[in-house]
Structure 1
């Protein structure tokens, strides 16, 4: 094995893969070290398996509303065994494609545990590799709350590996991960209660959009308990008990903790104290993704950026170009679109604040006349009539539309110009464009 490289990247998730491939494409000698599966959280325990499960949930959700309205027959059962097999095949194919692309790019793939033992020096199984640049792309992991019986709760990683559905579940945490798990499993037929210590769910989104999303979750049959910090999880003869307070508890089959994530920083080893971190525990970086330790860079969920796959991939490419090609600045996070895959999805771009929203509307889509669940759509525009700077959407297809909205916002359109592009009839888009 070679020991000298132009750069060594630790972590084979979205950020590390992107950096390695682009740096190698610029003619550099690159080693990528991964201790587990290629693809990281997104492919193996996050976005991809979640979206595949959501696809089934979305179909069932649409059908069940028509069933309850008496327009369709009984809701079909989910063949979880076959679904899990299909999902496993797809994830394996993605991992193999990454392996192939690394090989084609000339990246040295090392499947082992890495530790940074000195600046510019990485040790694996007793061997020392050196490079003037080391890139930490180690991602993050879910964390459970500090409470009695927390070990009895599943985390989001475990949920996406379920091969059978529980009859009932309680979810601790009202962020987008908790809400997605709630909406998906409710659509799959699970009785779901979501508990959050905040006054509403989806606090990552603007209040108006989040409230519509929350109302849609309630219409779906999800029980939402706000302003509550659970005290304990306990085993019972029939399953689990989630203790909310001295007088209230929930009897459920499964408890899921969706209470945040922490960066994987074990690879820093004894150098950890020399690398500055934020209050959230992620690594501080500058415009060149460099940490407080010269020559050590960080991208992806372990760095102080938005923990989203497109950001991780984009930052990996940007860093490769900064170090070995033509310099370009990191993507402005204001232009990053994001979506919570509830039913229907909640999506935003432009980081809207309540004060900045100058036009908004909640409406009933045409489908609500046929479906018993009566979900609501919403749009909000932020900025001003002369320069629209944010878009919020709650609607079927919002997860697709918001990316195009992000492209539009790069040009800061005025509201009159937007009205000159006509939406599709009948759809929520014509309300936004009208």
Structure 2
């Protein structure tokens, strides 16, 4: 094994893979070290398996509404073994494609556990590798609440690997991960109760969009308990019990903790004390993704950026350009589109607040005339008539449309200009554009 490189990246998720391939593309000698499976959280425990489950859930959700209205026959059942097999095959294909791309780029892939033992030095099973630039792309992991019996709860990683569906489940946490798990499993026939310590769910999104999303979840049959901090998880006579308070106990088959994530910092070893963290516990970085330890950079979920795959991939490429190509500034996080895969999706770009929204509407889509549990749609524009700076959407296809809205907002259009583009009829986008 070679021991000297231009850069060593620890972590083979979206950020690390992007950095390694682009840095190697500039003719640099790069090593990528991954202790687990290539692809990181997104491919193995996040976006990809979640989206595959959501695809099934979305189809079931639409069909169920038509079935209850008497327009379709019985709702089909999920064939979990076949779904799990399809998921496993897809994930392996993606991992192999990453392996092939690294090989084509000339990146040295090392599948071991690494530890930073000195500035510019990484140790693997006693062997020392050196580079003037070390890049941490170690990602993060789900954390469980500090309560008795928390070890009995599943985390989001485990949920995405279930091979059987429970009859009933309770989810702790009303962020987008908890809400996605709730919507997906409710559509697949599970009785779902979601418990959050906040006054509403989807606090990552603007208030009105989140409230419409919450109402849609409740119309789907999900029980939502707000402003409640569960006290314990314990074994019951037939499954688990989630203790809400002295008078309220939920009896379920599974409890899922969707209560946040923390960065993986084990690779820092004894140097962790020399690396500054933010109040959130992630690594503090500057505009060049450099940490408080010179020569050590951080990208992806372990760094102080949005923990989203497109951001991680973009930041990895940007860092490679900064170190070995032409300087490029990091993407402005205001231009990052986000979506919660509930049913229908909630999506936003521009980081709108309640005060920013100057025009909005909640409406019933045409499908409401046919489905007994039809969701409400919503759109909102933020900024001003002179310069639209944010878009909020709740509608079928919102997760696709919001990316195009992000492109539009780069040019800060005025409201009159937006009205000159005509949408498809009938659609929610038509309402927002008109």
Superposition TM-score, scaled by structure 2 size: 1.00
- Find out whether 1:13 has 2:17 as its counterpart: no
Q: Distance in 1 between matches of 2:148 and 2:264?
A: 24
1:354 aligns to what SS in structure 2?
coil
Partner in structure 1 of residue 68 of structure 2: 68
Partner in structure 1 of residue 182 of structure 2: 182
Partner in structure 2 of residue 214 of structure 1: 214
Q: Distance in 1 between matches of 2:167 and 2:5?
A: 53
Partner in structure 2 of residue 358 of structure 1: 358
Q: Distance in 2 between matches of 1:246 and 1:280?
A: 32
Q: Distance in 1 between matches of 2:382 and 2:358?
A: 6
Q: Distance in 2 between matches of 1:402 and 1:304?
A: 24
1:301 aligns to what SS in structure 2?
helix
Q: Distance in 1 between matches of 2:62 and 2:17?
A: 37
- Find out whether 1:95 has 2:95 as its counterpart: yes
- Find out whether 1:115 has 2:115 as its counterpart: yes
Alignment of 1:387-398 (within 5 A): 387-398=387-398
What do the CA deviations read for 1:198-231 (whole angstroms, capped 9, x no partner)?
0000000000000000000000000000000000
Partner in structure 1 of residue 306 of structure 2: 306
Q: Distance in 1 between matches of 2:352 and 2:137?
A: 29
1:277 aligns to what SS in structure 2?
coil
> 1:374: how far off?
2.1
Q: Distance in 2 between matches of 1:336 and 1:374?
A: 29
> 1:397: how far off?
0.2
Q: Distance in 2 between matches of 1:9 and 1:386?
A: 45
> 1:345: how far off?
0.1
Count residues in correspondence.
434
Partner in structure 1 of residue 244 of structure 2: 244
> 1:240: how far off?
0.3
Q: Which runs of 5+ in 2 are unaligned?
A: none
> 1:102: how far off?
0.1
> 1:237: how far off?
1.8
Partner in structure 2 of residue 289 of structure 1: 289
Q: Distance in 2 between matches of 1:31 and 1:42?
A: 21
Partner in structure 1 of residue 385 of structure 2: 385
2:88 aligns to what SS in structure 1?
helix
Alignment of 1:219-298 (within 5 A): 219-298=219-298
Q: Which runs of 5+ in 1 are unaligned?
A: none
Partner in structure 2 of residue 427 of structure 1: 427
Partner in structure 2 of residue 34 of structure 1: 34
Q: Distance in 1 between matches of 2:205 and 2:413?
A: 22
Q: Distance in 2 between matches of 1:52 and 1:421?
A: 33
Q: Distance in 1 between matches of 2:236 and 2:253?
A: 10
> 1:133: how far off?
0.1
Partner in structure 2 of residue 23 of structure 1: 23
Partner in structure 2 of residue 407 of structure 1: 407
What do the CA deviations read for 1:17-71 (whole angstroms, capped 9, x no partner)?
0000000000000000000000000000000000000000000000000000000
Q: Distance in 2 between matches of 1:429 and 1:406?
A: 14
2:355 aligns to what SS in structure 1?
helix
Alignment of 1:319-358 (within 5 A): 319-358=319-358
Q: Distance in 2 between matches of 1:124 and 1:322?
A: 27
* Deviation beyond 4 Å, 4+ runs, structure 1: none
Q: Distance in 1 between matches of 2:374 and 2:79?
A: 27
2:393 aligns to what SS in structure 1?
strand
Q: Distance in 2 between matches of 1:374 and 1:364?
A: 8
2:328 aligns to what SS in structure 1?
coil
Superposition TM-score, scaled by structure 1 size: 1.00
What do the CA deviations read for 1:304-359 (whole angstroms, capped 9, x no partner)?
00000000000000000000000010000000000000000000000001001000
Q: Distance in 1 between matches of 2:109 and 2:8?
A: 10
Partner in structure 1 of residue 129 of structure 2: 129
Please tell me the root mean square deviation across aligned C-alpha atoms, in Å. 0.3
What do the CA deviations read for 1:290-317 (whole angstroms, capped 9, x no partner)?
0000000000000000000000000000
Partner in structure 1 of residue 160 of structure 2: 160
> 1:197: how far off?
0.1
> 1:236: how far off?
1.1
Q: Distance in 2 between matches of 1:355 and 1:281?
A: 29
